[in-house]
A and B are shown apart, each in its own frame.
Chain A
Amino acid sequence: MKRIVYREWRISPARYWGILGILAAVAGMAILAFGYMEHTGHWVTGMNNSVVWGTPHVFAVFLIIAASGALNIASIGTVFHKPIYKPLGRLSGLLAVALLMGGLLVLVMDLGRPERLIVAMTHYNFSSIFAWNIFLYTGFMVIVIAYLWTMADRQGGPFNQPVGILAFVWRLALTTGTGAIFGFLVARQAYDAAILAPMFVIMSFAYGLAVFMLVLLFTFADEGRPIGPKVMRRLKNLLGVFVAGVLYFTLVYHLTNLYGAKNDGLEHWLLLSGGIYTFLFWVGWVLIGGLLPLGILYHPELSKERNWIVAACSLVILGGLATLYVIIIGSQAYPIQMFPGQTILESGFLDGVKGQPGPYSPTIPEVLLGLGGVAVALIVTVVGVRVLQFLPESLADGVVPVDEETLSEEAFAKPA
């Protein structure tokens, strides 16, 4: 093992500014979309009084949970003492902050009254999990920035372990809080489940790692920095475990619902007759976000190829967006059961007449706003790795620290 050297991302200025330009253009479109939606009012979006949170929330929640998940890599190195992950810690911290910024921006820009953000910062109702999240999110940023300092500065070294543990506990609290935004809602059948909080945690593990791996592979490939098979194998196996974990939680969630007769209507609708939501559940959530990446990541040949791993990560991200679309929008579209055992024949306010789901179709400004959050997260990341020493020079097998498990290489040559 050699000393890990971190170096700025030294791609050609033309390429660097080109990447930034494209990202800035996407972010600019999002600002225009924001201005349009706020100026005219939310009637130009697909959102309505039945489906009150739409596509921006899908992107925002994805980015926020991916942020806490991206920090996992640093935590594994610091908290769980796996030296092989240590060189990846800085990028992990940077991505965590960047993704959270992107997600929060989308959330704020979708408020009916974004100019009243100051109200949200001066008036708190502590029985609201939303109010708690304001502290969890800002606290997360502060702690992760401190964590980065302990990783990068010699003087911070002694604090690395305690700050790392704090960051780890905090990120668990943060994702639990994000899951609880939905899990605490007794009003809607598809929410009102404690399992949503740990499910969001495992989802954050998977999505955060997928984003982390894509960024790592892209930045390394673009500058020709080497990544050895050891690190690759570690990361892709970890991603496989997380993706399988998401599927497991999905299974338990639906089995629980299916067991009780009162949720038969919801499950029948979501799993069989829910149209776009059924499609997104089976094809997006289960197949694209679960089974396909698992197949690639544990395939004896494909899992060794970089491009296939990139494909698996991309599938996890696409599947993740589909998952959140089903969780956030599908759960609202299913009508609230105010009168169990009765069918609604007529309603003056779209109460699910004859079981009709609430209407929603995403509009272009909503999608642009969501993509803007992604662009902002990537701008922060790209500028960060360009001007500061976030990326290790090499992750070749001979360079990365020896892990206790790699001492007997043979046993781990193939994934279990």
Chain B
Amino acid sequence: MKDENEASDAAVDPRRRAFMGVAAGVTAAVVAPGVLLHAVAAAPRSEAVTDDVRWGLLIDTAKCVDGCSACVAACDRENGLDLQSKPEGQSPLKWDSQRAAWIRKVKLQDNQTGRVTTLPMMCQHCEHPPCVDVCPTGASFKRADGIVMVDRHLCIGCRYCMMACPYKARSFIHEEMHGQLTAVPRGKGCVESCNLCVHRRDFGEESTACVDACAAEGHHAIMFGDLKDPASPISQLLKEMPSRQIREDLSLNTGVRYSGV
């Protein structure tokens, strides 16, 4: 009796064992990549942004080409601004004043000398941003790494930041949105502006869409980098090249610098 029992315990059904093995293997194959990928994806974003860096741009207006708007097109694509559509019934002229734009090309002429300059304008990522000062809810904020942006969960759409911005850098979403990019969510009734492609920063990627596009055109008029690192190319260039801030009389210490204006 005892022997029989021992014998039946010891007896193994090979098919059952094989099934368990396959099941375990399949489960691992299905779940593991997800877990691993999730872990990989979460890694850089699980750490808080630090002020070890300060992101900024240097724009060399001598290299910025009149008639080229590659930076604008690239920004529109990267940040889903090209997904905006004119509401039915709106006049094109009026829509032009209402659609959102994070970056635009501006062409200037000196009143005295007649010299013409073209340059891209965007949020200047001030160290002391007036938009952050005036925001009643704190939706408009500056990250530790110097990027000024809007928390669209807190924005109530009062537009006081747009009143306060000396660079006209901000846009209000005037219309219902259809089709959005996961990386750049957007909502009717909120304010937004250039955030130096913050989704790229958070995944540890280099550069911004406008910088890449300008380089792809062969102009290299915009340089992105860490203003705090004295060894970074942008800091090195700033040290050599004469540059200035737009509206420097306001002492906002902008993160975007221009040379040749």
Contact = CB atoms under 8 A, between A and B. Distances in A.
B111 A341 contact: yes
B135 interface: yes
B155 interface: yes
A130 B134 contact: yes
Contacts of A184: 134
A186 B163 contact: no
Interface residues of A, number: 51
Interface string A124-159: 110111110010000000000000000000000000
A350 B87 CA distance: 20
A40 B176 contact: yes
Interface stretch (A48-56, A64-72, A200-208, A217-225): A48-56
A338 B158 contact: no
A304 interface: no
Interface in B174-212: 174-176, 187-191
Contact of A187 (B105, B112, B135, B164): B164
B157 A41 contact: no
B136 A42 contact: no
Interface stretch (B29-37, B39-47, B91-99, B232-240): B91-99
Contact of B108 (A40, A186, A345, A358): A345
B147 interface: no
Nearest to A50: B97
A50 B137 contact: no
Contacts of B97: 48-50, 350, 358-359
B261 A339 contact: yes
Given A345-B107, A345-B116, A112 B173 contact: yes
Interface in B130-181: 130, 132-139, 154-160, 162-168, 170-176
Interface residues of B: mostly helix, strand, loop or mixed?
Answer: loop
A351 interface: yes
Interface stretch (A25-33, A114-122, A239-247): A114-122
Contacts of A42: 98, 172, 174, 189
Interface range, B side? 35 or more
Contacts of B164: 185-187
Given A112-B188, A341-B111, A350-B97, A129 B104 contact: no
Q: Which of A112, A125, A339, A349 has the most CB of B within 10 A?
A: A349
Nearest to A133: B136
Given A40-B87, A186-B166, A112 B189 contact: yes
Given A119-B156, A359-B97, A41 B173 contact: yes
B168 A120 contact: no
Contacts of B99: 49
A219 to B, nearest CB: 35
Contacts of B101: 49, 348-349
A111 B107 contact: no
A341 B249 CA distance: 14
Given A111-B157, A112-B188, A343-B108, A349 B168 contact: yes
A119 B137 contact: yes
B104 A130 contact: no
B158 A336 contact: no
A123 B153 CA distance: 11
Interface string B59-72: 00000000001001
19 contacts: A41-B173, A42-B98, A43-B87, A50-B97, A113-B190, A116-B154, A125-B137, A127-B132, A129-B134, A134-B136, A185-B134, A185-B163, A187-B164, A342-B111, A344-B107, A347-B105, A347-B107, A348-B101, A358-B97
Given A49-B98, A125-B136, 17 more contacts: A41-B173, A41-B175, A41-B188, A43-B90, A43-B98, A49-B171, A124-B136, A185-B130, A188-B163, A336-B166, A339-B261, A342-B110, A342-B111, A346-B106, A348-B101, A349-B106, A359-B94
10 nearest A-B pairs in the assembled complex, by CB-CB distance: A112-B157, A112-B189, A348-B104, A48-B97, A130-B136, A187-B166, A349-B104, A43-B174, A346-B107, A125-B138
